[in-house]
Every structure is written in structure tokens, then in C-alpha cells.
Structure 1
């Protein structure tokens, strides 16, 4: 019996882990049972799930799925996408792929209906051969025949693979520890100075040691070689950046500043005579705006003072002041750049270079000081002009155009760096050979001490044993395919296509079906084969309605459960959404077919229920799965004859992947869509739920519209009241709120008139506010009913403080 499944990559499922998502409220992992009901909205992943089961039925995955990866876990082992032909248990799946493969006529008048046969007249000789082949095939459950031998060999192969993997991992760990391990790994041994050493390097060294028959060095020789590594090479030093002097450009700017001529519109002589007084007045001007007395002496200010000062400090003088401030800031930036110049630290040079390095550093320091003095002179001229803004001076140059020797000092520093790096290269070349010899000596000792050759030989022996077991398993699998082909050939001798069509008609003509459709088997002219036609009365039927297509397809599937391949077995049955386009009468008809011909317990010829050896009822199926998106059909499924073990699941879309979980209590316990819609609105009261339940937010407009239509109709059932009036009655005189609800339910339910809304993300915060508004109105109008709604979905009050 199938218990659970993991889906790493298949259709809408990506990284689904059963043990993570399928949990009871108390934390226990749920499992598939004898009967399993799955509910999910359209595009939630139900059909994708059915295709996994159908892959085991037909022996291959759908071609349009790239790199499928899934694992079905049973009570006796597991099946993967690599074992589609060997699971043993017959599986019969009804889904859209089944319909497309067998009933292309339903979507194309030029298509066909795949004929099938049930057992015909008795043929003892052929039946004895069939039983003989079945005995040869045997079963894993009864521990007989080829299937049992296959699974035993598969177990031996798996155990052998485990041994090879364990020993290989142990060897790889030993190699990793030697190459990368802390402490003791070659990578972390400063003697070898190789921080990038890894297992690949170690394997290359082992191959080199073995091919050149290198032995471990004598300890005295090893110590002598280590002593030759006394001088440790230093890391290379990057060259210093080139220096470009800015003195010339700054000279040009300050000469222009000093010589720029400006005149006040109405000069004040006292301010012209005293730069200190002028600066004091300039600084005080903004402090006396809108004041009528002096902030310093508290004396009244002349009414025309502001205009008088503005005429003295005109726009030209203010622009020049701003230009001077920018120049002074640039001088400070240049000073900062000069401060940052310097040689690398002494310990980055070899000791023999220290004196030269110090000499160059003194030269550089003196040059930097000269450069800074030049900057001081330039700044001084600018400040003097600032202090006496109306006094221009004709200058040609303030300081000589020079870098004060900085460039020369840096050039000498780069020459010293070049010499140091060359010294490093010479040391590295001589010491590299010593390090290689010492490292290879350690590798040779590791090979000898670890018995590496013996370990590899042992693993190789185990690998050969694994290959032999794999070959034996493949031979058993091939033999099994031959026997299954022989079985199908023998069963074909008992085929009766006419009875196959009659079996379909039996289901189509069920007393509750109410259809005039029937299947007719016609022998093809000149061939020993049949073709099936759909008849309406005596005429071939074309242009079937969607409901009729669904009925024919499902009745055809039921009849196939009695074909020669399935007869006499207890298959795993998977029925995916059989009522996607049916009306309520047909929905009940499909339910009665499932109940009458699949779900009911088997009875004997005397009408009493059959019992197995343990005294339990006998069913037609080994395990039954039924999935649907229709809440009415879900309601009927709760009336099915159920075995002792039943479980119900919810298939949903979470973010970018489908998921399976145990069905919530409200779906298990209640059969009305109103409870479900209330739960969807309740989910949307917290926009944080949008990450895990985005489909609820996306469908909010539809769900809210349907909920309010049903809920308010029962509250205000008068036929003279339309939906808009019911909204007004329930939500009161808040016209804006009613208009907002009408807009949201319409715009979020349709796109033909609101195409732009389909191009922007859903506003989850707005939806959360709306959901709370609706629940708040329900709580205010009828708190008792509101609490019962919450209880029906086993949820807390999102409006509680």
C-alpha cells in the first residue's frame, strides 16, 4: 500500500517533502490510507499528482516534463522514476491523459476510441498457461516468483551500493583530512606555503609518488632541508600610484581670484577702510533679518540699513566669496591627498632594504612638507582677498610650479619595491623545490602508513561485486518484461472486444444515467480487429456536449477496469476530477457509478459480504484515490462506502510550488461552500498570509463576491431586493464602503474591462483591510452567528484585540 511520496521536480511540484507538509495537528506525519479523498482548486496540482501514478501504470513519464524526480514510499519499499516498470502492483488512473490516449474521438471527429477486450469464452488450456506465467511472475508480497527474486536482488544491490559508498566516503574523508584537515593537513602546514592545496592536489601527488617510486625522507635529511627555509619570502608589494601635482592649476585659480575686480554699488567707507569691520558686518547681516534693534547693543536699527548693506555687499562680492571658499576647500582636499601618500611599512621589506626605505621616506616627508607649504601660501592669498574683498592684486604666480620632489621620491620608492619583489622571486624559486621535496616525502609516508593501495583494492573488489549484482538485477528485470509480454499475448487470446463495448454500455445505461448514448463494436473490414463507435440511437453520434464527453469517458474507464490486463487483480485506482464539466444530475450519476462499481464491499453469490482471512471486508481495489475541485462532488464523496482507513487531503499552490497537506477540519466536517469561502476570507485578514496562501488573495474578489451573494441572500431573501440593495442593508448607510466593495468584487473577478489590473501585483494590504471590514460587519450584526462561523473552520477571531 502506498503511504507517502516526495516530489523533487515534477510539473507544479518543486522540492515537496511529505514529512514536512503532511502533518497532524499534534505533529505526527500523515499517510495515505485505503481510501483517499483529495480536494484542490483548479491548477493546484491535482492532475500533476495523478500523472505520477499514471507514469507507473504506462511505464514512462510524460515527455513534456524535464528531469522528473519523485519517490513513492510503500509499506514494503519505495518506487522512483527509475523503476516505472517493476513496482508490481497494477495501477489504473483516470485523468485527462487517459482520455486523450484512449478517446481522441471526444475532441476530434477524425479521432478514434481505443478498443479493449474483456475475458471472452472459457479456454481452459490458455487459462492454465496464464496461471503458469502468473506463478512464474509471483509477487513481492507473497515472496514468490520472479518479482520476489527481483526485489531481493534489488535489496542486495542496494546493500552492496551502501558498502561501496561507505568505504568510498571513508577513503575520501581520509584523503580530505590529509589534504585539508585541521590540524595536520598539508593545506594548513606553513612549511609548504600552499593555502590552495586540496584533495585533487593530493591525488596528483600520490600518483606522482607511486609512478616515480618516491620514498619518505630520512629524518636527518628532512631536518636539514627544513633548515634551508630560514628566510621566509615576503608577499609581493604593489607599486605606488603615480603622482600628479595640482600646484599649477591652483596657482592659476588663485591669481584669478586675487586679480578679480569688483565694486560695491554704494560703498561704505568705514568697511572699505577696515577688513575686520567688513567681515564682522558681513557675518552679522543674516542675524538681523526682520529685526528692528541691534542684537549686540540693543539700539534701534535704521530703517534703510538692510538696503544700505545690500548696496555694499552686492552680488558680485558674494559670488567671489563663494569662489574663494571653494578654492580653500580644494586646497584642504589636496592637503588630505598629500597626507595619504606614503611608503609600505618596514616589515613588508627585507631587512637589507630597510635603510634605503627609511632614506626614501625622509625624502618623501620633506617633499610633502614643501608641497604643504605651497598650499599654505596659496590659501593665504585667497584668505587675504576674502578679508578685503574689494581690493584686487595683480599677480603672475604665487609659488613655483613644482611637486616639491614628491614624484621623485615615489619613483625611488617604486624602484625599491621592484628590487624587493625580484628578491622574493629568487627566494621562492629555490625554496619551492625544497617544499616540493618535503611535501612529496610526507605524501609517500601517508601512502605507506595508511595502506592506501590495500584500501583502494578492497573498494574495487566491492565495486565489481556491485556491478555483478546490477547485471543480475537487470537480467531479472528483462526476464520479467518478457513474462509480462507473454502474459499479455496469452490474455489477448481470450479477448472479446464486443463484450468490452457492452460493458461500457452497461454503465452508460445505468438507471440513473438518463442518456441515449452507447458504444458499438464493429469488426474492421479485412482485419481481425474491431473499432468502437459512439451511437445515439441508430445514428453515429457527433458533436457531443462536454457533459456527454465526460460521461462516456468515465464509463469507458470503468469498463477498462474489467479488461483482460486488469481482470482478477486488485488494482490501485486513481480517479482525477471526473466531473469537471458536468451538471448536478451528472455529478450524482458519477458518484453512484463510483459507489456501485468501485467503492462497495464485495459480496458473494448468496448476497453476503465477503471477508478475508483476517475477517475484514473485501474490496475491489487495493487502494483508492479520488481527487476533485468541486465542493458538491466532495459532499457526495462523504457518503461513499468507506473502509476502516480513510484520509482526506488538500492540494494547494504555495508560492511557486504545489503542496499536499491534511484536509482542514472545516472541509472534513462541513459540506457547504459557504464555510470554505468564509475560511478563504478569514485567511486574507492578515496580509502576512499572502506568502504561503497567495492563491487565497488572488481569488479574493471571486470568493468575496460568492460569499456575500449567498450569505446576504439568506439574510434578505426577498426577490424584490437586488445584490446592491442587500449590500446597503447589511453594511448600513456607508455609501463609500458599499461602492468600494462593489468595485473590488467586480474588478478582482473580471479582467476584460480591467486589463491594467492584471498587469500589477495584488494589493494584499488592501485585501486584508477589506476582509476585516466584512468580518467586522458580520460580528456587529450577529455576534453569535459570527462565532459559529469561526468555530466551523476551527479558527480564532482576527478582530480580537
Structure 2
């Protein structure tokens, strides 16, 4: 059975198109000529036509049935070649043969129903499985991806969609064997590996300071450097501790004998000789050693300090530095301070060699600085190793990230896998059962086709069509077998071919009779018992009113069999533009208002495009008389003018035209003056020439309540013994009527 039809981008259907949903066993679609009915029927006749590429049809449980379409193209396909294809039905079969076939057909229905249940169960389970997967997908995306997107997004490359992320998570859960790292370890590695591709970092040059330490430890700094002791002036110089003062003064002894100290000519050659002997080669050698070591020390320290200052500046400016620059700066500051102190000591020693000094050891600070450089170079080496093996390291870290994630959410993933595997196992079993049921259905269908092939014939169709033609007054032609086996032709009483001389109405009627036989039988022996859907598009064109009722009667017989689920016709879709035909063919029994197996629609063409309105089970096509009652029941109608006019027209139709009641007959049914006046106001407009009196009445009564009008209106039916008609048209059941005895008629709507 068809459940939904979608038509768009063809004929009068725009790109948005229409959807005909919730199709039932019996479906009525009303629409004026040119609103797109034939487009629908042509599509259902041939859904594969390229012009319908944007149209779709959905079948219940995806089980497609044969669609048999009647429209103007049907006549052209079947009555344009001088012969008509035969319709096979169970003709010459014995009672036993037909009974056997019917038993097989009933058995086939049971198998099909069982298969439909299994398919529905399978579809339900598939839907539950899809819901489970969708929920897990959304949960995974929200709880996992969104949580770690900022930190580990690089690890999720290739899985940045909900579906792919879910699949990757499940895949990693079943295959990831990496060792579990902590979140801190992962984030530290991610800083280097994730993000932009890392580059090699140059190692920091090591500093060498062995020579500096050697100079610092030289015993010369502690040595008291004085002149030769066995010289006559030695005792005085040493006693007065004037070594350094005298030594400095020697540089000022002039060529003459003037003393640089007292500026008297006291310097003798002997004194000069004693000074030279006192400050001998040993003394001068020590002075030279001090000077040389001081200069070397200062040069080495200046070089190291400059190098370290440059290193500090560069590393602080380098965002990926591995050096602990804070500590480095502290150590360097201390080193510079120590170097300054040692410089002062060395200057003092140079000026006063006789003093013993002890330099501040810078070894500890240089060792601390060296340790920082060694640690930084170790980190740089690790970094460069990662760069050298970046792809391997990145893949390794990605695996480690997924391992961390699946372990954190192991409970959720395990529960999903358990539930999902349960659905999968059940669905596999159901699919296997369904496949077996389909095989059973196919085998039995072939058996029925073989049985039907032996007892089918086109002759019963000839007999039935001729019977219908005769019974409805078409006596001048009939259907006869063609000379070509398996075909019909239309003949006059004298045997001549009648097709070219038939009227439009005759051709339409016989075409429809042929269609009905085709709907009940088949175009071949094998298709006689096939289930099918009927699509009937305006079958009463060119027919007079008498034949209209004949066609509607024939269709209603089919509708009854569809509703009772007898025969091989499972659904009907009827399209028409004729209001009278629509009302006749959709009439149920006069008592039943709605049918759960029937739905109604109206097609309309607005602004060159077709749209559709659904009325579900309520028939939208009513007579003008019914529409008056419907308007009267509408609670939104509050105008006394409108209500009064509606009631007047109902009274005119029912009592005046059909019941032959006179004005006075109705008015005199009331006993009070007020009720008689209201009744008069309702019916007086019926009589020509009485408007002046009624206008006065209207002015007098226009402020009266609508309830008074309704009470008198109902009482007209009650007092004339037509209360049953009133209740029927107002939709009041007998039970409600009995319960409302004595209640104001203002409440009946």
C-alpha cells in the first residue's frame, strides 16, 4: 500500500511541491481541471519516467505493489489500435479448482501477514539500533570531543565529524594497546608535537673555565713578595713594611742623585746598587707573573661574562627555550658580582705585591650555570630527536591520547557495545527469518500462478462486460474475441467493427468497464491473483448523469471489498473534478460520518502552482444544504443577521420546497406572541413583496439574543415532528437528545 506521494518540479508543481501523506486504503482527491490530478496518476503509472525524477512514492514496509492507473492515457494505450488486450480471470475453473486456489491465496495472505510482522519487528529493531547509535554518537561528541577539543584536537584529525569520531572511538577501543599515560604527560608532549611542526633547536655551547680556576688557585696570590733579605737596606724596608712603596718609588729615581722621596741629592751609586740587589730577579719575576695572570684572568672572565650575557638575551627571546632562564639570570648576576670583587683583589695585589690575597671562587657559580646548560641541551636533544622522528612520535602520541580517552570512558563504551551487539544479533536472526518467509511466499506464489494458468480465460471478461453494457442500456455494440488469440474487439450487431463509430461517452464507459475487469483479473495468466493498487482519474468524463451513478456504484463495490480486505485490490486512489460524482462515490450509508480507512484531500492551483489541503477523514465536499447546517453549528458565527438568514434558508429548503408547508402552518405551531414573531422573521423573506414588513421586524428583533432564534428554529422541527432531522443535521445523537430533554436549545451546538 502507498503511504506517501511527493510531487515536485513537474507540470504545475513547483520545486517545493506537495506531499500527500497518511494515505489510507481508500483515498479521495478532489481538484478542478488543470490543477495537477493527471500528473499524479501519470507518475504512479510510470514512476521511472525521467520527467518525474524529483518525485517519490513510499510503500508500506517497502513492499511495492502493481499500480493500475485509469486516466485518459489509459484509453489511448488500450483502445487506439483496433483491438483490446485480453483480461484473464478464473473462468472455466471447477468449484474444487477455485477452492484450491482460494485456499492457497488465503495461505499466501497468512504468510505475507507474518512476513509483514517480521519486517515491522525488524524495522523497529533497526530503528532502535539506529537510535542507540545516534545517542551514543551525540554523547561521545559532547562528553569526549568537546571536552578535549582544545587540548588534543590534533589527535582527532580525520575524525572531526560526529559519525567519524564515533567510529574512531569504537575502533580504538577494540585495537589500542598503548601504555596508559597521565593527562599531564600527554599535555606536555602535545605542546611539542601538536600544533605547528617543530623545528630543530641549536645546542647551547658549553663554557670552559678550567684555566680560570687554575689562575684562581695559583699560590702567587697568597705569596708575600718582598726584596732580597741580605741587602743592607733590607732590614729597614722590611721593618717598616715599605716594600711596595719603595718598589713604586724606584720608577721615579732619576739619572741624577735626587731622591724621589725627599727630593734631596742623597741617592748614591751604592744606594742604587742596594735597591737593585734588593729587588732582584725573583722579585721581578713574581711581579711579572702577577701582572700576566691578572690580565689573562680578566680577559677570560670578560669573555665568559659576555658569552653568558649574550646567551641570556637570546634564550629569553626564544619562545621554545629549554633553558631555565630565571635561574640562569640569578646565577649570572652572582657570577658578575664575584668577578667584580676578584678584579678589585687582583688590582690590589698588583699594586701591593707584598700583600697576600684570596680570590673568591667562581667555580660554584660556573658549575651551576654549566648544569643548567647541560640540562637545557638534554631537553634540546630530546626535542631534536622528536623532530627527527616527528611522524612516528605524532602517531605515538595520537594513539596515547585515544588510549587515555577510551580508558576514561570505558564504562560508557562497554555498555554501548553490549547493547549494540545484542541488537545486531537479534536483527541478524530476524533477517534470516524474514528471508525464509520471503522464500516461502515466493514458492507459494509460483504454485498459485501455475494453478491459475490452467484455469484462466479471457471469456469471462467478455461475458461480464457485455452483461454490464446490456444492463445499462448500451445495446448497439458488444465485446467479442478477436481473430488474434488473446485480444478483444468491439462489434456492432451486424458484425462490423464499431470502435471508430462509438461516441465519446460510449468509449469512456466501455473503457472503464474494461479497466474494472483488468483490476479484478490480469493481463496475463500469471498475474490474475497479484495484489494491486487502483488509481482512478476522472472516470466519468463525457458520461451523462445516469451513467455517472452506474460508475459510482461499480467503484463503491470495489471500495467495499477493499475495506473488508477481500480480493486482490488493496488500495484505491480516486481523483475527480466532479462534485456530484465525488459525493456519490464517497457516500457511505447516511449514518456513518467518518471511516478510519478513508481520507480526503483537495488540490488547488494558486499563482500557477498546485498545493494540497488534507481533510483527513472529513469529506470536504458537501451540498449547499449541508453547508448551511455546518455554518449553523459553527460557534464563531455570532451575528444575528447571519444566523437568521441561515435558518431562513434551511426552512425554505426543507419545509417550503420539500415539505410543502405554508407560512401560517409553521407560525401557528407556536402558542406565544413572541415566538410567532421570531418564527415569522425567519420565514417571511421567502415571500416576494413582503420585505417592507420584514425590515420592520428585523429592526425590532435585531437586539434579541441568538439563543432565542435557535430555540424557535429548533421548535419548528419539534412541533412539526421533524426533530429527528434536526438532530441528524446538527450531529446530536439520540442518547444526547434524551439526556438534554428540557434543557435550553441554546446549548445544542
* TM range, smaller chain: 0.3 to 0.5
- More helix per residue: 2
* TM-score, structure 1 as length reference: 0.43
Higher relative contact order (CA 8 A, sep 6+): 2
